[in-house]
A and B are shown apart, each in its own frame.
Chain A
Amino acid sequence: MAPPQTLVQERLGGACSNAITAQAWSADGELLAMATAGGELLLIDFRAGCEELLRGERDSSLNVVGFSADDRFLMAAGQGGELLLWELGGSGVRPIAFDPLPLGGHWLDAAAWQPQGCLLAVGAGKQVRLWDGASRTLRVESQELEGTVLALAWSRDGRRLAASCHGAVLLWSPDDPGQPPQRCATASAGLALGWSGQGNLLASGQLDGSLMLWPDGGAGRGWQFSGFPGKARALSWCDQPGRLAPLLAVASADIAVIWSQQDPGAKGWKPEPLVLHEGRVHAVAFAPGSRLLATASSDGTVALWDGRGRLQQLLEGDGQPFNSLSWRPDGRHLVAGGAQGQWWLWPVALPASVRTRPPRSGGFAP
């Protein structure tokens, strides 16, 4: 048996003054943005080799950050209840801030850019508001939910938007206002939402320790999987096709669970619990382009797993709990943020067990 391969041999890092709450990479992988509980917003420009504090420390938290699909805009929001936007000119060009958009005084912690589009969905209280990057304005019309919006997710094609609250997940097509929203009832509050690429499944991690899954873009009858040891607080779909559905990772209490669909029935989903961490797992993320899974825990470690749940490597920071994780779109660099403001960036070599064949060019599909 070959000796285990070391995936990570070096690391970069830095520190903000407060707990890191969210991190995001630009689509081209050249920019990395980090938000903190002390309101800082740090933008790192790798090509230009510089960093800029777009927003300094203040007594108001930022909780969500993201780049538009075309990398033209950067968004952040949090406790202040304002949507913050910057126009980006690419590497080496200073971002230009828009005037902050007040959204009713709610603590904003759910926002998502449309894939393959320029809409930004933001949860503000019970409403989902849309900021349109084409017109650079906030749309007047909004979608009202029956409770506070807790999570938002776009389908991979950017056509459907899902929003969760206590008791329901609502699905609609923002670009087709004539179509009424579809309501999927749930027994508790949805904390994390995610759409798969293959199969167009919608997953919702629930406050009551269950996972809801709806096939066919939410049109099919949902499955509920219960028995998680705590809240199903975070989830991530693998972007590599599975035999049926792709792999789905869900974080709950001290574990992550990889779900794989073995056959089409309700009993066809098999869980593989990943037992290692000694504290809450706060974030899970499959690396783009492979089946490598990263899990970040309050025990101060980040673990790398293959798609069958075998531990590949355990990464350590300086002992402080990890809050967030974000893969660079190349799937070869992982950034994690800590509860005291430290962040780490690890270049990751993909192990053979998670590598997948590059997409074929030409020829026939199997």
Chain B
Amino acid sequence: MASPRDRLPVTVLTGYLGSGKTTLLNRILTHEHGMKVAVIVNEFGDVGIDNQLVIEADEEIFEMNNGCICCTVRGDLIRIIGNLMKRRDRFDHLVIETTGLADPAPVIQTFFVDEDLRDQLKLDAVVTLVDLKHVEQHWDSEEVQEQLAFADVLLLNKIDLVDVEACLAIQQRTRALNPLARVIPTCQADAAMDQILGVEAFSLERALAIDPEFLTSDHDHEHDGAIGAVAFIEERPMSYKKLGLWIDRLVTERGPDLFRMKGIIQFAGETNRYVLQSVHMLVDSAMDRPWRDGETPSTQFVIIGRDLDEAALRAGFEACVA
């Protein structure tokens, strides 16, 4: 198994139809970032076809374990990337474009579930493009909500086509849904390359970055089935045993509804931080660095999902205080 440093970083690019994915792909392929980037697209379309490292793949969902949503993966990626990795010396980064209507979860899960991809690649970030001009029309679609919820980087694109108020309003709505993502307003998807590639959002060592505004503002409780986020901050140390059991039960009972979870945890009697992240039922966690001098040890925990009962979750979380 390759060490994390040697594993190939993978960026997953999502966004509804017309949000600017192709523009961004072409920017990535032509930009002088000194990296050789291989791209897997669902359709060649307008992507720089001259680039030999653009490979077309037909989305093919493999449901394993009797259709459990958390074990649903992209079979085409397992096959194509398996072939591609024999040419590992030809590129430094892999970008996967998903269709506008795709649920990002199977793509993400493929890199955790498949033994070969897990060992040879590492997810860098899920980058979601939002069409500021048209996103309101599709806001309630399942695909748009999931693409927003799974994002590590949110590019609010086409800022030149909307006024400042409209942009801020959408920014707030996306925040309520996903307080973890880094939000970057763009025109022609012109974000700096280092904000898109090499983000290491799935790295456990990377500090949790919750928008402080999210923690203080009130969130409207939306209709049943709505996707949203809850965040907890706790100054008292947590019990390792209690929190472990609570998270186990949570992902067992609610796994399909839990899109992303991230946490930095202060355990009683521990001088090191504990870090955790998850995608549906796949939980990745480890002991991290010691708390630094001048840093107040505390626990931050964010859950993004569907039908989240904030009060019940908060009660469950607080019961885990040591």
- Of B76-84, B205-213, B294-302, which binds chain A? B76-84
Say yes or no for B139: interface residue by CB 8 A criterion. Answer: no
Of B58, B64, B83, the contact of A148 (CB 8 Å cutoff): B58
Q: Is the CB of B62 within 8 A of A166?
A: yes
A61-B83, A63-B83, A107-B83 as given contacts; A125 in contact with B58, CB under 8 Å: yes
B48-78 interface mask toward A, CB cutoff 8 Å, 1 = contact, 0 = none?
0000110110101010110000000001101
Interface residues of A in 143-182 (CB under 8 A from B): 147-148, 150, 166
Say yes or no for B309: interface residue by CB 8 A criterion. Answer: no
Cβ of B87: which chain A residues have Cβ within 8 Å of it?
A: 18-19, 37-38, 61
Interface size class of A (residues with CB under 8 A): 20 to 34
Tally of B interface residues using CB under 8 Å: 21
Q: Is the CB of A59 within 8 A of B75?
A: no
Of A38, A59, A107, A187, the contact of B80 (CB 8 Å cutoff): A107
Q: Is the CB of A230 within 8 A of B115?
A: yes
* Cα distance, A120 to B56, chains bound together (Å): 25
Whole-angstrom distance from the CB of B257 to the nearest CB of chain A?
Answer: 25
Cβ of B64: which chain A residues have Cβ within 8 Å of it?
A: 187-188, 207-208
Cβ of A60: which chain B residues have Cβ within 8 Å of it?
A: 52
Say yes or no for B292: interface residue by CB 8 A criterion. Answer: no
* Cα distance, A150 to B115, chains bound together (Å): 17
Whole-angstrom distance from the CB of B142 to the nearest CB of chain A?
Answer: 24
Whole-angstrom distance from the CB of B54 to the nearest CB of chain A?
Answer: 11
Say yes or no for B221: interface residue by CB 8 A criterion. Answer: no
Cβ of A107: which chain B residues have Cβ within 8 Å of it?
A: 55, 79-80, 83
Cβ of A339: which chain B residues have Cβ within 8 Å of it?
A: 86
Q: Is the CB of B76 within 8 A of A148?
A: yes
Say yes or no for A315: interface residue by CB 8 A criterion. Answer: no
Say yes or no for B90: interface residue by CB 8 A criterion. Answer: yes
Of A59, A189, A208, A231, the contact of B90 (CB 8 Å cutoff): A59
Of B58, B79, B84, the contact of A150 (CB 8 Å cutoff): B79
Whole-angstrom distance from the CB of B81 to the nearest CB of chain A?
Answer: 11
Whole-angstrom distance from the CB of B118 to the nearest CB of chain A?
Answer: 11
Say yes or no for A319: interface residue by CB 8 A criterion. Answer: no
Cβ of A125: which chain B residues have Cβ within 8 Å of it?
A: 58
Chain B residue, CB-CB nearest to A78: B83
A246-258 interface mask toward B, CB cutoff 8 Å, 1 = contact, 0 = none?
0000000100000
Of B62, B80, B84, B116, the contact of A189 (CB 8 Å cutoff): B62
Cβ of B115: which chain A residues have Cβ within 8 Å of it?
A: 230-231, 253
Interface residues of A in 4-30 (CB under 8 A from B): 18-19, 21
Whole-angstrom distance from the CB of B125 to the nearest CB of chain A?
Answer: 26
Cβ of B56: which chain A residues have Cβ within 8 Å of it?
A: 105
A59-B52, A79-B55, A189-B75 as given contacts; A147 in contact with B86, CB under 8 Å: no
Chain B residue, CB-CB nearest to A339: B86
Cβ of A148: which chain B residues have Cβ within 8 Å of it?
A: 58, 60, 75-76, 79
Say yes or no for A306: interface residue by CB 8 A criterion. Answer: no
Q: Is the CB of A109 within 8 A of B83?
A: yes
Cβ of B58: which chain A residues have Cβ within 8 Å of it?
A: 125, 148
Q: Is the CB of B86 within 8 A of A61?
A: yes
A236-279 interface mask toward B, CB cutoff 8 Å, 1 = contact, 0 = none?
00000000000000000100000000000000000000000000
**Can you list 15 A-B contacts (CB < 8 A)?**
A18-B87, A19-B86, A19-B87, A21-B86, A61-B83, A61-B87, A63-B83, A107-B79, A125-B58, A147-B60, A148-B60, A148-B76, A150-B79, A231-B115, A253-B115
Identify the 5 closest CB pairs spanning chains A and B, nearest first. Answer: A37-B86, A59-B52, A19-B86, A37-B87, A230-B115
A residues touching B (Cβ–Cβ < 8 Å)? 18-19, 21, 37-38, 59-61, 63, 78-79, 105, 107, 109, 125, 147-148, 150, 166, 187-189, 207-208, 230-231, 253, 323, 339
